[in-house]
A and B are shown apart, each in its own frame.
Chain A
Amino acid sequence: MGRITLENVTKRFGDVEVIPPLNLDIEDGEFVVFVGPSGCGKSTLLRLIAGLEDTSGGQILIDGNDATDTPPARRGLAMVFQSYALYPHMSVRKNIAFPMRMANVDQAEQDRRIAAAAAALNLTDYLDRRPGQLSGGQRQRVAIGRAIVREPAAFLFDEPLSNLDAALRVGMRLEISELHQRLKTTMIYVTHDQVEAMTMADKIVVLRAGHIEQVGSPMDLYRTPRNLFVAGFIGSPKMNLITGPAAADHDATTIGVRPEHIKVSATEGTWKGRIGVSEHLGSDTFFYIEDTGLSETITVRAGGEIDLHHGDTVWLTPDPTKIHRFDAQGDRIA
């Protein structure tokens, strides 16, 4: 079981309140991603759940039991760190065995769990190596292996992929998702990368300055961002946020249109502009349209084979059903 409830949890460092009173429910078996820009308090929140930081107020319940003052070792949680945090003087086998050794698990059981974890994570051939002799991806797998063998109530991941190169990151992302599907254990995952958040999460928690801006499934956040911050943060490339007369036409201070919800035409449309930069990715083409008379450069996502280039004049038509409207406070207008 791994149901985690935060009730009015706060954290102050000296006079600075990094987490104002915060409430959150994490269901058993859920994959929850904390996402937000750096300094938004997402790592601090994770460390509060882990017990590596003391709360300044409020309660943390794990499976209904108050764990606010329980030391990290006894919360039954396992953590994977950004820097992997492997024990450099121990072999891979001993690294993975360490939490079981601390829990006095008998040797036969230790061997069985190590073998299972190593097989699942493709580490069988590396068990006798030291962490220093492994690649970044392998080290991260060892860190995950060390977390798995504890059979924890929940896994905590603190930006585990940010030290890996792009190709490896995609691979590891898949592996962690598969792991979650197989183990069905609660996972809390911290990242600043909204793509990781979108692809992995059952539930995304968007944080800014310690506040929860919105909680919801990836598609909820994509379809109905509650405010400008979430609108701008979720989705890649970013949503076009347009102010001025174009927004007033829709009775809003700001309107948002995602790049994939704008149609490009060489002949007709709502807004006329000129292609500044065009990025041809093969599968998609991104156009950055200038001179539209709108408040900002408009990003448009078009098909991969489209034959338009820098300097061409184009017409843009936003899908009227996909226009997001925001008021002067930046909140969504229903």
Chain B
Amino acid sequence: MARAVSTRTRIGYTAAAWFVALLIFFPILYTIITSLKTEQEAISGFSLIPSFTLSSFEAVQTQNDYWKPFTNSVILSVGSTILALIVAIPAAWAMAFSPTKNTKNILMWMLSTKMMPAVAVLVPIYLIFLRTGLMDTRIGLTVMLMLINLPIVVWMLYTYFREIPGEILEAARMDGASLKDEILYVLTPMAVPGIASTMLLNVILAWNEAFWTIQLTTTNAAPLSAFIASFSSPQGLFWAKLSAASVMAIAPILIMGWFSQKQLVRGLTFGAVK
């Protein structure tokens, strides 16, 4: 039975929802507003009305080239995602369709690595990168981002694969499909929605990843997250420029996220809904 909800209650809920949404969105909104201010306005206190100047954006672009970190961001996030999928699809397949009694433990162990603070392994990773010449290389960072997001990718794919009825895969086996055929022609196409949302989420995670990108890059492989950081300390605090850099860094992923909302919500609920 549907609960009867009075109009007044509904208005109340809607208002509350808008309030919470605005509260969450406010830092981003204020960043955008600040990016449209002059440096003077930016430090002169709280104000929601900027002077709509684009000078900060110009300054950011002339001081530092935007396109290089942008290209790096695209390569790192897309590259690490593709790499993660190549590793995670067979792994999740094995765990979903021929589980052993340790499958759950392995999944938990993988997730537990995400519970550890990243800084705990900073020194060994830093040294490995330094010794192997991976420091500030796109390939090194792509692998690093792949590794840190891999547990989540495997988990998500695992939950999606679990929703695929086993009988369909058995039917494929009866129809003469080899393991490769089964994954390629039956499982993967059926899991496309799940794989797509996993991919989107992973691109966003990789795009926004700041800890490792800042630690392990200087200029060559630095993506946009490091680009923002480069505006914070050395030259002192330039709020407007910093905001402009942030806006330029988050805009692409924000636009992508906007257009793929439905897939993302599906992805974030982790296969909990059918």
Interfacial residues, chain A to chain B (CB-CB below 8 A): 50, 52, 71-74, 77-79, 81-83, 85-89, 98-99, 102-103, 146, 150
Contact flags (1/0) for B154-166 with A, using CB distance below 8 Å? 0000000000010
Is the CB–CB distance between A102 and B181 below 8 Å? yes
- Of the residues A79, A89, A103, contact of B171 by C-beta under 8 Å: A79
What residues of chain A lie closer than 8 Å to B177, measured between beta carbons? 73, 98, 102
What residues of chain A lie closer than 8 Å to B185, measured between beta carbons? 98
Using A87-B186, A89-B189 as known contacts, say yes or no to A72 and B174 having CB atoms under 8 A apart. yes
A137-B59 Cα distance, complex, nearest whole Å: 68
Is the CB–CB distance between A87 and B168 below 8 Å? yes
Is the CB–CB distance between A85 and B176 below 8 Å? no
Is the CB–CB distance between A77 and B190 below 8 Å? no
What residues of chain A lie closer than 8 Å to B170, measured between beta carbons? 52, 72, 79, 81, 85
* B interface, over-half SS: helix
Asked if B104 lies at the interface with its beta carbon under 8 angstroms from chain A, I say: no
Is the CB–CB distance between B173 and A71 below 8 Å? yes
Of B167, B176, B185, B192, the most chain A CB neighbours within 10 A belong to B176
- Of the residues A73, A87, A150, contact of B173 by C-beta under 8 Å: A73
What residues of chain A lie closer than 8 Å to B174, measured between beta carbons? 50, 52, 72-73, 77-79
Q: How far is the CB of B88 from chain A (nearest CB, A)?
A: 21
Asked if B178 lies at the interface with its beta carbon under 8 angstroms from chain A, I say: yes
What residues of chain A lie closer than 8 Å to B176, measured between beta carbons? 73-74, 99, 102-103, 150
Closest to A89 in B: B189
Is the CB–CB distance between A72 and B173 below 8 Å? yes
Closest to A87 in B: B186
Asked if B65 lies at the interface with its beta carbon under 8 angstroms from chain A, I say: no
Of B173, B174, B186, B192, the most chain A CB neighbours within 10 A belong to B174
Q: How far is the CB of A4 from chain B (nearest CB, A)?
A: 15
Is the CB–CB distance between B171 and A81 below 8 Å? yes
Interfacial residues, chain B to chain A (CB-CB below 8 A): 165, 167-168, 170-178, 181, 185-186, 189-190, 192
What residues of chain B lie closer than 8 Å to A86, measured between beta carbons? 168, 171
Using A73-B178, A102-B181 as known contacts, say yes or no to A89 and B190 having CB atoms under 8 A apart. yes
- Of the residues A50, A83, A89, A150, contact of B165 by C-beta under 8 Å: A83
Q: 14 A–B contact pairs at CB < 8 A?
A: A72-B173, A72-B174, A73-B175, A73-B178, A79-B171, A83-B167, A85-B167, A87-B168, A87-B171, A88-B168, A98-B177, A102-B176, A102-B181, A150-B176
- Of the residues A71, A81, A89, A99, contact of B167 by C-beta under 8 Å: A81
What residues of chain B lie closer than 8 Å to A78, measured between beta carbons? 174-175
What residues of chain A lie closer than 8 Å to B172, measured between beta carbons? 87, 98
Using A81-B167, A85-B167, A89-B190 as known contacts, say yes or no to A99 and B175 having CB atoms under 8 A apart. yes
What residues of chain A lie closer than 8 Å to B186, measured between beta carbons? 87
Q: How far is the CB of B231 from chain A (nearest CB, A)?
A: 47
What residues of chain B lie closer than 8 Å to A83, measured between beta carbons? 165, 167
What residues of chain B lie closer than 8 Å to A99, measured between beta carbons? 175-176
Is the CB–CB distance between A98 and B175 below 8 Å? yes
A74-B174 Cα distance, complex, nearest whole Å: 8
What residues of chain A lie closer than 8 Å to B167, measured between beta carbons? 81-83, 85
Closest to B178 in A: A73
Q: How far is the CB of B22 from chain A (nearest CB, A)?
A: 40
10 closest pairs, A vs B, by CB?
A85-B171, A102-B176, A99-B175, A85-B167, A73-B176, A89-B189, A79-B174, A72-B173, A85-B168, A81-B167
- Of the residues A52, A82, A88, A146, contact of B175 by C-beta under 8 Å: A146
A88-B169 Cα distance, complex, nearest whole Å: 12
What residues of chain A lie closer than 8 Å to B175, measured between beta carbons? 73, 78, 98-99, 102, 146, 150
Known: A77-B174, A99-B176. 7 other contacts (CB 8 A): A52-B174, A73-B173, A79-B174, A81-B167, A81-B170, A98-B172, A102-B175
What residues of chain A lie closer than 8 Å to B178, measured between beta carbons? 73, 102
Closest to B167 in A: A85
Q: How far is the CB of A310 from chain B (nearest CB, A)?
A: 39
A285-B41 Cα distance, complex, nearest whole Å: 95
What residues of chain B lie closer than 8 Å to A146, measured between beta carbons? 171, 175
Closest to A50 in B: B174
A77-B177 Cα distance, complex, nearest whole Å: 13
What residues of chain B lie closer than 8 Å to A81, measured between beta carbons? 167, 170-171
Closest to B189 in A: A89
Q: How far is the CB of B101 from chain A (nearest CB, A)?
A: 11
What residues of chain A lie closer than 8 Å to B181, measured between beta carbons? 102
Closest to B190 in A: A89
Q: How far is the CB of B26 from chain A (nearest CB, A)?
A: 43
What residues of chain A lie closer than 8 Å to B190, measured between beta carbons? 87-89
Q: How far is the CB of B142 from chain A (nearest CB, A)?
A: 31
Q: How far is the CB of A178 from chain B (nearest CB, A)?
A: 23
What residues of chain B lie closer than 8 Å to A72, measured between beta carbons? 170, 173-174
A150-B171 Cα distance, complex, nearest whole Å: 13
A78-B170 Cα distance, complex, nearest whole Å: 11
A56-B246 Cα distance, complex, nearest whole Å: 63
What residues of chain A lie closer than 8 Å to B173, measured between beta carbons? 52, 71-73
